[in-house]
Amino acid sequence: MIAISQKHWTGDVAELLRVGDGFVLDDVDPEDTPGYERSKKHAAEDLASGALQLDEYQERLYAQSRVDATRASVLLVLQAMDSAGKGGILRHVVGSVDPQGVSISAFKKPTDEERRHDFLWRVKRRAPEAGMIGVFDRSHYEDVLIGRVRELAPPDEIERRYGAIDRFEKRLTDAGTRIVKVMLHISRDEQKERLMRRLDRPDKHWKYNPGDVDERELWPKYMAAYQTVFERTSTAHAPWFVVPANRKWYARIAVQHLLLEALEDINPHWPAATYMVDAEKKRLAAS
């Protein structure tokens, strides 16, 4: 077993960030750094050392899936308001893992074909294979977030979806997938600053969309929709974690830590050879 380095944490991060009974999103301060009292500079070092652990864990998981009958995988679900830092998580946390062991699925506005199916259809097809770390960049939760805020479906259909999501996630976890659901939580003011920086830099103009401002106007409605999501879908088998994200460096080490814990829970090990090692050495030497 690889021991996850805990030395830089002052508390149980997963416990501090997990959405449990009585959780109130409004009470979370996006500037906060729960369980971490070191500086931004230290966070970069801690992220780098965590990356090595994550990489080895993932390779073990992958190796085991090729040889043993294990079906274990990890699924990171990333949800956030625009500019909250999903891309940075993908680049700096997920990007440190061997790309052969990662599958990223970005869920955008559904295509015509996707709309002709149940909302979970496109999501199920992207569930991670055994041995992989799957990442959902946005997810089925959009269908109860923008779906609710923008009234893209009737209320009873939105209502039905919470239960459908729960059953879907239960089946996935029963089949061996560890699900880590993360909302990156930034403040409305922080978003304004980040969007303004995009407008200030010509090489970032492509990341800005006038629709982003329209969505900002609906901020309180989105926060209410997230609160409902947390109340209805943070379960023992697929808990939500709300990660304060005004400080990008904190969000990155926190999400990395949640992934490390999921892998530690699987505890993958190098699989034993399924052949006679000495006999193969002789065959190979003679070849």
Which residues lie near its own copies (CB under 8 A)? 63-64, 66-67, 87, 90-91, 94-95, 98-100, 102, 104, 106, 137, 192, 195-196, 199, 202-203, 205-208, 210, 213, 216-217, 270-273, 275, 277, 280-281, 283-285, 287
Half-sphere exposure of 134 (CA within 13 A, CB side): 27
Which is closer to its own copies, CB of 39 or CB of 100?
100
Q: Is 216 helix (H, G, I), strand (E, B) or coil?
A: helix
Find the shortest distance in angstroms from Cβ 278 to its own copies: 9
Find the shortest distance in angstroms from Cβ 285 to its own copies: 8
Which is closer to its own copies, CB of 164 or CB of 218?
218
Question: In this structure, are residues 158 and 232 in contact, taking their beta carbons and an 8 Å threshold?
Answer: no
- Strand 102-106, strand 133-137: pairing: parallel
Read off the tokens for 40: 């931004």
Find the shortest distance in angstroms from Cβ 271 to its own copies: 5
Question: In this structure, are residues 166 and 160 in contact, taking their beta carbons and an 8 Å threshold?
Answer: no
Question: In this structure, are residues 171 and 68 in contact, taking their beta carbons and an 8 Å threshold?
Answer: no
Find the shortest distance in angstroms from Cβ 84 to its own copies: 15
Which is closer to its own copies, CB of 36 or CB of 208?
208
Find the shortest distance in angstroms from Cβ 256 to its own copies: 14
Which is closer to its own copies, CB of 12 or CB of 98?
98
Which is closer to its own copies, CB of 155 or CB of 287?
287
Nearest to 191 by CA among 172, 175, 207, 170: 207
Question: In this structure, are residues 112 and 47 in contact, taking their beta carbons and an 8 Å threshold?
Answer: no
